[in-house]
Structures are given as C-alpha cells and as structure tokens.
Amino acid sequence: MTDDLLERALAQAAHTPDAAPLPDLSAPAAAAGLLDVAYTRLDSPVGTLLLASTILGLVRLAYLDGDAEDAVLEDLAERVSPRVLSAPRRLDEPRRELEQYFEGRRRRFELPLDWRLTGGFGRRVLEATAAIPYASVRSYREVAAAAGSPRGSRAAGNALGHNPLPIIVPCHRVLHADGGLGGYTGGLERKQYLLRVEGHLTLA
C-alpha cells in the first residue's frame, strides 16, 4: 500500500507543470521507509537557515549563503543517508523553538539532537558548549578544559568552526579570553547579532 502511494505521488510529480507546486512526498516516502533525513528552510533574522533531522533528532543547522544548500544536502546524503527529502512538517518543533529564540521568548532549546556528525574531542567540545547558559560566555580555553584538554584551545576553535548545529549548540557564546569575538562559521556579524539577542552586555 505505501509503495503504491509513493509511486502515485512520484507519477504526479513527474507530470506537474513547472509553475505548479510539487506534491508533498514526505508522508508516502516515510511510510515506505524511504525518508531518513527530513529538511526544510527557515527565514530568520540571520538569514535563511536549513534545518535537517533524523529519527534521533536535529542533525544539521546551516546558514544558506550563496549556493550552500546543494552542498549541505550532498554532505548529508554522504554522511548520514542518501534518503534526504524536504519535509517541513517534520521540523515544526525546531522552527517553533528558533522563532521563539529570535523573538526573545526562549532561553533554552529542548530539541533532541543527533550528534552523528561529530566525534572524539570535537564532540566533547560541542557538548561543553551546549552547556553554556543563555547570555553567558566562555573562553576557548575554558571550553577546551571542560572537554578534557586545557591546552587544546586551538583544537577547540577548530571544532567550533565545524559545528553542525550552530545557534542550537551555541558556539557564538565562546570568545577569546581577552573578550575578543574570535571566529564564527556564519560570520562575525551573525555572532554579534546572536549575542545581542541574548543581551550580552559587552555588545549592547
């Protein structure tokens, strides 16, 4: 039954005029076991975001600058599963929590996360970063120490630069020990904006 539904949906998509909206294939694909990674886009104050989730939780949040979307989807297909499909309804909760965050109505994300795109010391760095409270900051050295390597500031910076879940795992809350912004995968303007959303006094 589910295979028949999917075949009918695919047939409909093949005969849909270019100007018409494509049918939603996510439900029949999921029922047929053909949807491993669901994704959608979210327009936000820091630009368009791509959100992707698996059965375990949110696995990717990416800033969509230029032609980044194709690269993000290809990376997900290679590293998670080739069964990647647009399925906005499956990401209603992440979108809702992010919208609340940007509106200043949410201080803590409660989303399940799929950590499979991280590992080793990098994952420990990101887990330590995820524990930094709202409106607080830590230094790269402090995050490295919390991850088990007090002298690993540079490695911690590299791990944060490859954070697959920015905003949710708040790498924008990690600064240089002297208060300098340091780097940020989405650019320093976004880092400043996120810190301002949280009312960080040094950037008021």
Enzyme catalytic residues: 171
- Residue 138 in tokens: 């830590």
If 0-12 CB within 10 Å is exposed, 13-18 middle and 19+ buried, where does residue 15 land? exposed
Contact 162, 56 (CB under 8 A): no
CA distance 121 to 152: 9
- Residue 120 in tokens: 């080793």
Return the beta strands (E) in 84-149 as ranges. 84-86, 138-139
- Those residues whose C-beta lies under 8 Å from the C-beta of residue 63, and which sit 6 or more positions away, are 46, 47, 48, 49, 166, 185, 186, 190
